[in-house]
Amino acid sequence: MRNIYASSGATEYVTVHVEEANGQDLSTCAWALGISASQQAPPTTWAAPDLAVYPSAGTADLSLLVPASTAPGAYWLWVKDTDNPETLIRPCINQRISVI
């Protein structure tokens, strides 16, 4: 597991790397990111990535700005793809955010 440390009151970016098993183009996906205090329960608030980079076919690096108003604590980064015909919601199990 990788801990990402962010200072309370400061704005920090957290990034997730997404890979599509069949190498399909991910640049047309409707991405959303969120943080939750639980690895089992998705966030109630989602936001479009602040930065999306597509380094190669089938991969995406998505960044979310953790707001300065985030209270100190441990959080998990979640990613959502709302493409038709399905919506995929997944926790980024190796991305724990520690706001200190």
| Better-scored residue on pLDDT, 36 or 4 | 36
Superfamily of domain 2-99: Immunoglobulins (2.60.40.10)
What contacts 31, CB < 8 A, 6 or more positions away? 48, 49, 52, 60, 62, 79, 80, 81
The domains of the chain are located at 2-99
Query: Which amino acid is it at 90?
Result: R
* CB-based contact 76:91 (threshold 8 Å): yes
Confidence of residue 41 (pLDDT cuts 50, 70, 90): very high
pLDDT in tens, 61-71: 999 988 777 88
* DSSP collapsed to 3 states, 3-65: EEEECCCCCEEEEEEEECCCCCCCCCCCEEEEEECCCCCCCCCCECCCEEECCCCCEEEEEEE
pLDDT of residue 10: 66
